[in-house]
Amino acid sequence: MTGATGFVGRSLSLQLQRDGHVLRVLTRSPEKAQATLGRDVQVVSMNDFSTTGPNALEGCEAVINLAGEPVVGRRWSAAQKARLWDSRVGITQTLVGNIARLASPSPVLISASAVGYYGNRIDSEIDETANAGSDFLADLCVAWEEAALQAQALGTRVVTLRTGIVLGQGGGALAKLAPLFRMAVGGRIGDGKQFVPWIHISDLVNAIEAALHNESITGPVNTVGPTPLTNRTFTKALAEAVHRPAVLPVPAPLLRLAMGESAMTLLGGQRAVPAKLLANKFEFQFPTLDAALYDLLEDTMGCTISKAKNIPDSSYMEVRRPIYELRQETVVHAPIDQVSAFFSQAENLGLLTPPNVDFSITSETPIEMSKGAEISYTIKIGKLPISWKTRIEAWEPEKRFVDAQMKGPYRCWWHQHTFRAAGNRTIMEDRVLYALPLGILGRIAHRLKVSRMLLEIFTYRTRAIQLRFGSPNSQRQASFSNAPSNKRTFNGTSRKTA
């Protein structure tokens, strides 16, 4: 997989591991990838891939290509356009070239693309048979897909994912938009009449995995939700979800002045529909924007914050008195020994942390989890990097462990994880006792920002755990009417295709 450390790649890698796959990740930053994705993932350096490519791909029964420089965020200078082209077309060409060098080419290549393939369309519905547009983004997507489709001549089934705006926690569009709308400074873009093709990240991950196993799916697939909306409607729904007015529209001339040619990514749109998915009876878990926004912005997965009480005897808290208490209970659909083994690897902490926190372990790894062990890492709050050191205060495998912050942004941070078996499931309870520095200023910051940030981080954590181990909703996998019923093996795991 390329792009495994990205916003979509992280969720997909968790679910693929849950379903028994072994992942080999191609990345420009091997150390960061290992810290982000955990010890169980095999990491290959992009710098070595040009010479070791066939060896890296040997034995892989599928290649998933999600790499790509972000399109939104920088002006499209000539240098930036070159970076966008190289990170998509160039990497895809390299992948396909190395697939061609294999004695037995990979049977499946799933490669990212975007609805930008269609250019700017005003109001007509667009399925996978529509023609390409004629602007830079369309040209980029055409070349991107053509590079991937070269693998068809090798006997490889190729699927190109024409994806819209991906809505999820910890990154993507919502990470940028939700804070603005909560401050009541959000609004429609331009006249708001352009369509916004969107998809919930859970539906996208399910669609990718279904396409991975279903041999009837080939060629372009619009991986978007079934209800495209105008920007005006999207803006209104987002404002209602965060309980704020949306009264500050962004004028098109101002956006073009600030962003140049790249403003087209926001001012243009496509009324793309997932025709191929719907024709094959794909079941969207979040078919409406209201359902998606409630899940991502309002459902805290049972996480609560209150005043601290019943503080346990601890030498740590004798000098660092907590003010607040966070609690959360998570049902993990895996036996307690598997869950305990997962948390015994400190490197797995990155898997459970939102991408925009940019978690990175700085201690030498692997780390032996035991009482007295110390772990150093860095995180980001916004763009501000923060060093954090935690010490394991208690370690009782398959029962509980406690970590306490020794250095970091909190005056007090004491986090107890407890586990109890419930048949083949595990009930995991988190209790965090904490306080911020700076007295009254810290309490104001908690009320305005920190409490919501913690709820979002722990909600993301619960979703990540459920992606990795399963949940009551893990049977929501997409179904396809034309899926073959024969068994085949992916990465050594015998399973029916979805």
Rounded Cα distance between 192 and 147, Å, is 34
Q: Look at residue 360 in the predicted model and tell me its pLDDT.
A: 87
Say if residues 24 and 44 touch (Cβ distance below 8 Å): yes
pLDDT in tens, 48-106: 786 777 888 988 989 999 999 989 878 999 999 999 999 999 999 999 999 999 999 99
Please say if the pLDDT value at position 475 is more than 50: no
Long-range contact set of residues 130-139: C-beta below 8 Å, sequence gap at least 24: 135/264, 135/268, 136/76, 136/81, 136/261, 137/71, 137/264, 137/265
Q: Look at residue 274 in the predicted model and tell me its pLDDT.
A: 97
**Domains in the chain, ordered, with CATH?**
7-165+197-225+271-283+476-496 (3.40.50.720), 304-469 (3.30.530.20)
Tally of CA atoms within 13 A in the half-sphere of 202 that contains its CB: 24
Q: Look at residue 471 in the predicted model and tell me its pLDDT.
A: 59
Tell me the residue length of the chain. Answer: 498
| Range in 249-258, 312-321, 374-383, 488-497 the model is least confident about | 488-497
Rounded Cα distance between 230 and 406, Å, is 49
Written as six digits, the tokens of 218 are 């080939």
pLDDT in tens, 172-229: 999 999 999 999 999 999 999 999 999 999 999 999 998 999 999 999 999 999 999 9
Say if residues 53 and 94 touch (Cβ distance below 8 Å): yes
Say if residues 288 and 199 touch (Cβ distance below 8 Å): no
H-assigned helices in 19-85: 30-37, 46-57, 78-85
List of residues 6+ apart from 390 with CB closer than 8 A: 374, 375, 403, 404, 405, 406, 408, 413
Rounded Cα distance between 383 and 450, Å, is 15
3-state secondary structure 164-226: CEEECCCCHHHHHHHHHHHCCCCCCECCCCCEECEEEHHHHHHHHHHHHHCCCCCEEEEECCC
Rounded Cα distance between 139 and 113, Å, is 11
Rounded Cα distance between 148 and 110, Å, is 8
pLDDT in tens, 397-425: 999 999 999 999 999 999 999 999 999 99
